[in-house]
Amino acid sequence: MGAGGGGCEALAPLAPGTGGRVVSDWKAMTRREMIAMTAAAPLLAAEAPGVKLGIDLFSLRSQGWTPFQHLDYCAKQGAKVVHFSEVRFIGSLEPENLRAVRRRAEELGIEVEIGMKSICPTSKMFDPKDGTAEEQVGRMADAAKIVGSRIIRAVLGSSEDRRPGPIERHIDSMVKVLRATRSRVMDAGLKVAIENHAGDMQARELKSLVEAAGTDFVGVCLDSGNPCWTIEDPHLTLETLHPHVLTSHVRDSAVWPVAEGAAVAWVRMGEGNVDIDGYVRDYARLCAGRALSLESIVTGPRVFAFRDPKFWDAYRTTPAWEFERFLEIVARGRAHPDDPKPPDREAMLRKEREDLEASLRHAKGVLGLA
């Protein structure tokens, strides 16, 4: 503001909750009016340094790039964090490769996070060919320390593990693995970030896993797209898990009613109906300093047939009040049209990048980083 002290009055904002009147005397504003303005406005640029905007490389899963090409591309997009969510994106866990990746990331001013798939021996997604779950976590701990990652992202499995279930038996199995690797992880100065992944766990279930394993070394990789795959409101997921969040994946969802129940499609940021803008603002406030990494996935609809009694075999413990919050999202949705199928591979690769870049632009706008 200038020294004349008339800056606020000159702006003469229209205050939400004040009937649209011009508010030129900020001292005369009521507390309710101030709260309304704060809630309605995007994050100010002054707050943005607390937000580490990143990219989960699953957004670029088809590109076939080296880790160095990934880093260079992400730097051009303004990313401060690059999340190598799977080993294939970083190339290999050979120390020489990891040191080279670290050097390039440091040159670009980028923070690196690395991850792996399932560490739950009873999950259908777990791959025993790579050794026991404990051995796999140990290798990733060594790799994370070399590459400079402060976390290891891992998952339980997918929605397939809810059938026949119960999901609690897989949670118990994973807790045993985590407890067995506690000293290995903590000695390396790391934490394990468990993702709510592909419809495997609802928020309260993941919270129970983290607390049972130990919050001193286990936290959450919070995904905003996957809650709808567990018939859950993403805002409820954030409300429940934010104290344990270590990192994140962010994307938008379109949800709408169909005869069987609900359809869910993942879409570009800003094209869905789950209030992703409000989610991003709340994440930045509740998880300040954590990475907010775009995981761009654009899909056709997946139907959740909750009108079929058999559907509920996988969700026997879901509280009615939680499901009601999901139903509110369904009720306000409209069918999202499928994107045209790219005519060839080159067009598909280009669209994958365009989807991510459009989502990045939207997220930057919400955060005041544009």
Predicted confidence (pLDDT) per residue in 235-247, tens digit: 999 999 999 999 9
Reported confidence tier of residue 370, pLDDT bands at 50, 70, 90: confident
- Asked whether residue 26 carries a pLDDT value surpassing 80, the answer given is no
Q: Using CA atoms in the order 197, 238, 287, 78, what is the torsion angle rounded to 10 degrees?
A: 60
Domains in the chain: boundaries = 47-367
Q: Which residue has the tokens 């730097």?
A: 75
- Asked whether residue 227 carries a pLDDT value surpassing 60, the answer given is yes
Reported confidence tier of residue 30, pLDDT bands at 50, 70, 90: very low
What's the pLDDT tens digit per position in 38-91?
Answer: 443 443 333 444 779 999 999 999 999 999 999 999 999 999 999 999 999 999
Sign of torsion, CA 55 57 62 66?
Answer: positive
Instruction: List Cβ<8 Å contacts ≥24 apart for 33-37.
Output: 37/13
CATH of domain 47-367: 3.20.20.150
- Asked whether residue 15 carries a pLDDT value surpassing 90, the answer given is no
- Asked whether residue 17 carries a pLDDT value surpassing 90, the answer given is no
Report the pLDDT value the prediction gives residue 165, as an integer from 0 to 100: 85
List the one residue out of 367, 292, 323, 306 whose CA is nearest residue 227.
323
As to burial, measured by CB atoms within 10 angstroms (0-12 exposed, 13-18 middle, 19+ buried), residue 367 is buried
What's the pLDDT tens digit per position in 281-336?
Answer: 999 999 999 999 999 999 999 999 999 999 999 999 999 999 999 999 999 999 99
Q: What are phi and psi of 282, to 5 degrees?
A: -65, -40
- 227 token code pair: 């809650």
Over residues 207-218, mean pLDDT: 98
Question: pTM (2 decimals)?
Answer: 0.86
- Give the span between the Cα atoms of 370 and 365, in whole angstroms: 5
Report the pLDDT value the prediction gives residue 29, as an integer from 0 to 100: 39
Q: What are phi and psi of 82, to 5 degrees?
A: -120, 120
What's the pLDDT tens digit per position in 155-172?
Answer: 999 999 999 989 999 999
What's the pLDDT tens digit per position in 267-288?
Answer: 999 999 999 999 999 999 999 9
Report the pLDDT value the prediction gives residue 105, as an integer from 0 to 100: 98
Report the pLDDT value the prediction gives residue 51, as an integer from 0 to 100: 78
Over residues 176-188, mean pLDDT: 98
Reported confidence tier of residue 338, pLDDT bands at 50, 70, 90: very high
As to burial, measured by CB atoms within 10 angstroms (0-12 exposed, 13-18 middle, 19+ buried), residue 18 is middle
- pLDDT > 70 in the chain, percent: 87
Could you give the angle at which helices 234-241 and 320-331 cross, rounded to 10 degrees?
140
